[in-house]
């Protein structure tokens, strides 16, 4: 297929010099090559003088079977030493018509240094071809011309140090014979390209802008695919300042990143081919290699669907290195394949692409089934090691083919997170972002290392508007259409096959990085592992020992899933929907009593609610508009249509604040949006409403009192009637009636805002209460907003838990018909904590807020006689802090046991210490006798008598541990900065080791750029060195909380690995289902639950093994229970 010419890709030129006396040389590392566009290395200083003339240009021509119908010569002129240099053309092949146009590259102009050659030195010029093609497969001619007016004693190596071409052991550039003498050149070029075509010798002519230089050497060759890098060296003695010119040319001969069979991909689409390839993969030749694998899947929406329940694999790809040619069998005989290039080329087809698409054709279905069966031994072999990028997804969709996946040896997504946990917002962890990161991929520099290009960039098309014109959005066709489309098939094969190669290259780069980085484990933990025979010295050792098996375990847990009781959820949904509507109606009725059009409002609309509460409030920035006094909104039409007219879709309503049309809202906002208008978020509404349910209860009490008074009045009238007959069947307490009447009158009395504020604060009513004149009005307002909050909370439970947990998107019935939810578990937080999605089971409502008992829907498979064990760490992060800081006060408190926060308060406040000493209160009380009876304490407990102090101590325990300052605490508590500072000082006075440890962590972040967890995992904190105060403050807070939260994650990880490895639990049939923060859930036979529970607690208390004892300074507390549902086991 004729192809249009494209410009040259980027090349890199490195100029270096070495001292003749020492015979040394300046060398560039592979990483430096990948980072450098133009780099000058030198030994010495004061580089100045006459410039070198460096030129890079592209030639047009033909080679082999790929031809241009017409060609162009592209020139790039670079300014050297600040002066523009005019490039001159080299002769193009005689059979091509050539047109020329000049190109300027200002980026290059800044990167070429002027060099001065000194006496008694040899000048060495290293030409580095570093090709990162934007198109994947290109044929290139490379030529290097070296020129100097007096070029004596120059020599070139017999074979250039560089990457061999595909299917050839020859060096990229062949040796050339160079004659001695000024201005003389004799060029002999031998073509060593794999396709066997001869390009002929270049005339080697090249001149600088002043015409003083003459070429003395020229090398010309063809590469069958982009070359990563190679170096040609020329040396000469210099006695005077001289020009030394290097010209590097890259001729794009042809590109095959079109809809043509890719030359280095072997396609398997027959059973015979599948059996031959699968046998070769299992042979001694290849089975010991590391295989990178990838899948492409249809019929799945990753935002909604779990791969355990959805998706069909339409192809998979495998790669195990550039030196394997799948087009050859074991004895190297040639095998025909449709993906091959023309017969004139011999290529390494090192990428394997397997077609598994089922299009409904019966014959095709049998063929695909046979292909899958042929590869089954490869997938199910534990000894054949495989690496993936996001293994979780690929494993589940492959197992939907009926294949058991074994041999997991690494997930490059997890490896990348271990290498650099701070890439969120800086490219992320996608295969595209990682494989295109030159700082990372430069570590391999072996062969064609090219970043993955996204599917959207390659196959995306503009969306079509209703009028048929193209829109701005880019949409992707379905993947099966890309695979089967005539105009996209081979490009799709090319794209999907390369994912496995990108994963293989990425794995190699990450392994190299992780091997170089030491793992700074806690010394005691490292010693415990060593006693168990596990030596962890580098992050690679850490990955192999912990995160690699943990990654496999997470996919096991995802595949197992948790059983859900859909009947319970359906009942909960019915009740929740009813109660949500009731709550909305309570708010709407109150709002309508103030604003007529509120009867039609959307109570879930923030702007509409904000108009009711903040109408007329100014913007905090003044120059911008605030909330208007009145505003018109469009809402769905709720009015009957006019006679003879079509009903309208929408209607207009006008809302103002609840205090009146012309009166500005008296509310003073506490929180504003970034645009400066009052916020109407849930925290704001909670401040306005007060304590949950408090206003509604008080309002109900007033209503009951009114009913009693009104009822009493009715009884009096009835009594008068019966008095006429001389009978009195009822009697009333006149004193009680009088009291109720007085209370009602008092409640209805208008008060000042100050009086209302005092009543509200005393009784826990919200801020809204004080802006109404009477108690009933204030309570009604608070109760209405409380109902609005209630409706929002119910909606959250419905939309996040109750409804999704019944969806087939994330659950499916197992073999016994029990529906199980399969969420996705990910190590994707910067601290290393797990996160969950589809659904987020880690975000279940708190037990006290689980009004519909959502956790009760998570059950064991009771039909199979199973139950659940739920085990939870107690105060894990505080215990980790005590260990890491070696805080004696905290260690003692944990050793003594009991209420840790009460002990903290006791250590902070002198008056509590006095009360304890005098016997006026008790720190703790265990009044349970042997017979089970309970005796109450003789005096109040500390937590009851000094509840405010204990709550403040509890806040401090968690806040200061995570780096919160007195400034932040003063805002939280609503106290002065001085008072907050004094309280913080009291906390630190008893915990000086914590303060010293925090200072050390901040120092490490500022000077090393990272902090470590107990297992030596790092969190990079580049902003700790930032000049931006806010960014630096955030990083320094992270420097304190990351070691604590991250180490808690380390403990949970180690405990889960130990639970999984325990033979006793395995033999009894117990398996892990879920980890939620510091809690684990297992499922197994009910008859062994008590024994299994003890084993689980044992593993969690000693997560790092029991060889030589527990390495932590503090005992880990574990609470555990077993029951049939998650709710009952809490």
pLDDT tens track for 791-817: 999 999 999 889 999 988 888 888 788
- Nearest-CA neighbor of 187 among 224, 223, 227, 147? 147
Cα 271 from Cα 247, distance rounded (Å) = 51
Q: Which pTM was predicted?
A: 0.73
pLDDT in tens, 665-689: 999 998 899 889 999 999 999 999 9
For residue 1024, being part of any structural domain is answered with no
Percent of the chain with pLDDT over 90: 45
**Residue 481's CATH number:** 3.30.420.10
Cα 269 from Cα 372, distance rounded (Å) = 11
Residues 366 and 240 in one domain: no
Residues 541 and 504 in one domain: no
Average pLDDT, the chain: 75
356 vs 210 pLDDT, higher one? 356
Degrees, nearest 5: CA angle 331-337-338: 170
pLDDT in tens, 1008-1060: 999 999 999 999 999 999 889 989 999 999 999 999 999 999 999 999 999 99
Confidence of residue 190 (pLDDT cuts 50, 70, 90): very low
Residues 808 and 858 in one domain: no
Residues 145 and 285 in one domain: no
Amino acid 162: pLDDT: 33
Confidence of residue 393 (pLDDT cuts 50, 70, 90): very high
Residues 6+ apart with CB under 8 A from 553: 1056, 1057, 1060, 1072
521 pLDDT above the threshold of 90: yes
Cα 758 from Cα 769, distance rounded (Å) = 10
For residue 985, being part of any structural domain is answered with no
pLDDT in tens, 757-789: 899 888 889 999 999 999 999 999 999 999 999
**Residue 1125's CATH number:** 3.30.70.370
- Nearest-CA neighbor of 368 among 313, 311, 410, 439? 313
* 219, burial (CB in 10 Å: exposed 0-12, middle 13-18, buried 19+): buried
For residue 151, being part of any structural domain is answered with yes
Pairing of strands 98-104, 71-77: parallel
For residue 999, being part of any structural domain is answered with no
Residues 306 and 453 in one domain: yes
Residues 706 and 612 in one domain: yes
Name the domain boundary from 452, 486, 516.
Answer: 516
Cα 576 from Cα 582, distance rounded (Å) = 10
Residues 406 and 545 in one domain: no
Residues 530 and 420 in one domain: no
- φ and ψ at 727, to 5 degrees? -120, 140
Amino acid 462: pLDDT: 83
- Nearest-CA neighbor of 315 among 503, 497, 459? 497
* Dihedral over Cα of 985, 989, 994, 996: its sign: positive
Name the domain boundary from 909, 935, 963.
Answer: 963
Cα 391 from Cα 384, distance rounded (Å) = 16
Residues 73 and 178 in one domain: yes
Cα 901 from Cα 318, distance rounded (Å) = 56
Residues 640 and 525 in one domain: no
Among the ranges given (52-56, 490-494, 692-696), the one the predictor scored with the smallest mean pLDDT? 52-56
Confidence of residue 701 (pLDDT cuts 50, 70, 90): confident
DSSP 952: H
Tokens linked to 278: 């699968």
Three-state SS for 452-504 is CCCHHHHHCEEEECCCCCEEEEEECCCHHHHHHCCCCHHHHHHHHHHHHHHHH
Cα 208 from Cα 212, distance rounded (Å) = 7
Q: What's the domain range around 148?
A: 13-255
For residue 745, being part of any structural domain is answered with yes
Tokens linked to 797: 């439970």
Cα 769 from Cα 766, distance rounded (Å) = 6
Distances in Å between the Cα of 94 and the Cα atoms of 202, 203, 377 are 11, 12, 56
389 pLDDT above the threshold of 90: yes
116 vs 424 pLDDT, higher one? 424
C-beta atoms surrounding 296 within 10 Å: 24
For residue 896, being part of any structural domain is answered with yes
* Average pLDDT score over residue span 121-150: 39
242 pLDDT above the threshold of 80: no
Q: How many domains does the chain have?
A: 5
Residues 855 and 706 in one domain: no
Distance from first CA to last CA of the chain, Å, rounded? Answer: 68
Pairing of strands 1079-1085, 562-564: unpaired
Task: Judge contact between 632 and 611, C-beta under 8 A.
Answer: no
Name the domain boundary from 934, 963, 992.
Answer: 963
For residue 984, being part of any structural domain is answered with no
982 pLDDT above the threshold of 80: yes
For residue 947, being part of any structural domain is answered with yes
121 pLDDT above the threshold of 80: no
Tokens linked to 709: 């008074």
Residues 582 and 716 in one domain: yes
96 pLDDT above the threshold of 90: no
- Nearest-CA neighbor of 768 among 597, 591, 618? 591
Distances in Å between the Cα of 318 and the Cα atoms of 295, 362, 388, 501, 573 are 9, 27, 10, 8, 46
């Amino acid at each position: 297929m004729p192809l249009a010419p494209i410009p040259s890709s980027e090349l890199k030129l490195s100029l270096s010099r070495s001292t003749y006396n020492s015979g040394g040389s300046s060398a560039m590392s592979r990483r430096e090559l990948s980072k450098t566009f133009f780099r000058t290395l030198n030994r010495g200083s004061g580089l100045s003088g006459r410039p070198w003339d460096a030129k890079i240009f592209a030639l047009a021509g033909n080679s082999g079977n790929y031809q241009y119908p017409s060609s162009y010569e592209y020139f790039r002129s670079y300014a050297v030493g600040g002066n523009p240099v005019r490039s001159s053309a080299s002769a193009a092949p005689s059979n091509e018509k050539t047109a020329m146009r000049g190109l300027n590259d200002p980026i290059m102009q800044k990167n070429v240094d002027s060099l001065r050659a000194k006496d008694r030195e040899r000048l060495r010029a290293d030409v580095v071809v570093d090709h990162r093609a934007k198109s994947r497969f290109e044929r290139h001619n490379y030529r290097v011309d070296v020129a100097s007016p007096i070029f004596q004693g120059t020599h070139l190596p017999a074979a250039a140090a560089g990457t061999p071409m595909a299917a050839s052991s020859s060096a990229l550039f062949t040796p050339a014979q160079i004659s001695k003498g000024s201005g003389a050149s004799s060029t002999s070029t031998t073509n060593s390209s794999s396709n066997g075509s001869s390009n002929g010798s270049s005339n080697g002519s090249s001149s600088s802008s002043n015409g003083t230089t003459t070429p003395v050497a020229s090398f010309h060759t063809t590469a069958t695919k982009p070359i990563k890098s190679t170096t040609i060296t020329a040396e000469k003695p210099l006695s005077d300042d001289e020009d030394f010119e290097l010209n590097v040319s890259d001729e794009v001969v042809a590109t095959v990143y079109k809809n043509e069979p890719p030359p280095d991909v072997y396609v398997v689409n027959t059973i015979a081919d599948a059996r031959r390839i699968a046998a070769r993969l299992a042979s001694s030749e290849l089975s010991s290699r590391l295989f990178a694998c990838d899948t492409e899947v249809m019929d799945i929406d990753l935002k909604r669907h779990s791969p355990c329940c959805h998706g069909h694999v339409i192809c998979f790809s495998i790669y195990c290195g550039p030196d394997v040619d799948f087009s050859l069998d074991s004895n190297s005989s040639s095998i025909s394949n449709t993906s091959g290039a023309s017969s004139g080329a011999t290529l390494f087809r090192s990428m394997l692409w397997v077609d598994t698409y089922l299009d409904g054709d019966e014959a095709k279905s049998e063929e695909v089934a046979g292909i899958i069966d042929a590869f089954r031994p490869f997938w199910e072999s534990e000894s054949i090691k495989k690496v993936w990028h996001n293994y979780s997804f690929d494993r589940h969709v492959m197992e939907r083919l009926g294949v058991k996946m074994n041999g997991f040896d690494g997930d490059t997504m997890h490896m990348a997170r271990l290498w650099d946990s701070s890439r969120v917002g800086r490219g992320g962890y996608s295969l595209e972002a990682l494989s295109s990161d030159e700082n990372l991929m430069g570590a391999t520099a072996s062969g064609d290392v090219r970043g993955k290009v996204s599917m959207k960039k390659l196959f995306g098309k503009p969306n079509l508007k209703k009028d048929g014109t193209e829109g701005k959005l880019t949409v992707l066709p379905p993947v099966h259409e890309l695979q089967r489309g005539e105009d996209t098939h081979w490009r799709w094969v090319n794209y999907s096959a390369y994912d496995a190669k990108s994963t293989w290259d990425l794995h190699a780069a990450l392994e190299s990085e992780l091997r170089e980085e030491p793992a700074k484990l806690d010394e005691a933990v490292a010693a415990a592992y060593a006693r168990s025979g596990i030596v962890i010295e580098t992050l690679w050792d850490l990955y192999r020992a912990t995160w690699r098996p943990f990654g496999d375990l997470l996919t096991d847990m995802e595949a197992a899933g948790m059983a859900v009781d859909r009947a319970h959820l359906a009942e909960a949904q019915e009740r929740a929907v009813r109660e949500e509507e009731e709550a909305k109606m309570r708010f709407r009725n109150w709002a309508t009593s103030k604003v007529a059009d509120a009867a039609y409002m959307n109570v879930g609309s923030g702007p509409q609610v904000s108009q009711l509460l903040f109408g007329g409030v100014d913007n905090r920035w003044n120059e911008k508009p605030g909330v208007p006094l009145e505003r018109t909104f469009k809402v769905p039409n709720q009015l009957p249509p006019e006679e003879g007219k079509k009903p309208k879709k929408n209607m207009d309503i006008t809302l103002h604040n609840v205090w009146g049309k012309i009166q500005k809202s008296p509310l003073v906002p506490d929180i504003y949006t970034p645009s400066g208008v009052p916020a109407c978020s849930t925290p704001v509404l909670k401040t306005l409403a007060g304590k949950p349910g408090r206003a509604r209860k008080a309002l109900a009490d007033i209503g009951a009192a009114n009913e009693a008074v009104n009822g009493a009045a009715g009884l009096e009238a009835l009594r008068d009637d019966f008095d006429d007959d001389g009978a009195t069947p009822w009697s009333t307490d006149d004193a009680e009636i009088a009291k109720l009447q007085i209370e009602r009158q008092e409640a209805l009395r208008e008060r000042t805002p100050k009086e209302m504020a005092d009543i509200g604060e005393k009784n826990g009513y919200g801020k809204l209460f004080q802006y109404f004149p009477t108690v009933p009005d204030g309570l009604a307002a608070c109760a209405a907003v409380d109902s609005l909050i209630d409706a929002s909370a119910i909606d959250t439970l419905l939309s996040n838990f109750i409804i999704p947990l019944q969806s087939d998107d994330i659950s499916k019935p197992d073999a016994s018909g029990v529906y199980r939810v399969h969420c996705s578990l990910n190590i994707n937080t910067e601290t290393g904590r797990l996160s969950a999605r589809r659904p987020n089971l880690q975000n279940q409502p708190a037990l006290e807020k689980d009004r519909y008992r959502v956790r009760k829907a998570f059950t064991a498979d009771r039909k199979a006689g199973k139950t659940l064990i739920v085990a939870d760490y107690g105060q894990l992060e505080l215990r980790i802090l005590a260990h890491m800081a070696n805080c004696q006060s905290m260690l003692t408190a944990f050793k003594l046991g009991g209420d840790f926060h009460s002990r903290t308060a006791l250590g902070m406040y002198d008056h509590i210490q006095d009360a304890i000493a005098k016997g006026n209160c008790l720190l703790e009380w265990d009044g349970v006798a042997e017979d089970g009876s309970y005796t109450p304490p003789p005096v109040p407990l500390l937590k009851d008598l000094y509840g405010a102090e204990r709550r403040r101590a509890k806040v401090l325990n968690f806040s200061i541990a995570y780096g919160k300052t007195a400034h932040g605490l003063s805002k939280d508590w609503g106290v002065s900065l001085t008072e907050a500072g004094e309280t913080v000082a009291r906390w630190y006075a008893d915990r000086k080791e914590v303060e010293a440890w925090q200072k050390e962590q901040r120092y490490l972040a500022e000077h090393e750029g990272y902090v470590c967890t107990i297992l030596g995992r790092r969190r990079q904190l580049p902003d700790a060195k930032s000049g931006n105060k806010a960014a630096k403050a955030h990083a320094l807070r992270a420097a304190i909380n990351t070691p604590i939260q991250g180490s808690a994650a380390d403990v949970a990880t180690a405990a889960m690995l130990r639970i999984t490895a325990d033979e006793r639990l395995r033999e009894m049939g117990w398996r892990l289902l879920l980890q939620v923060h510091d809690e684990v859930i297992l499922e197994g036979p009910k008859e062994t639950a008590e024994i299994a529970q003890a084993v689980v607690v044992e593993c969690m208390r000693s997560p790092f093994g029991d060889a030589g004892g527990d390495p932590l300074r503090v005992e880990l507390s574990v609470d555990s229970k077993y029951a049939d549902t998650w709710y009952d086991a809490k």
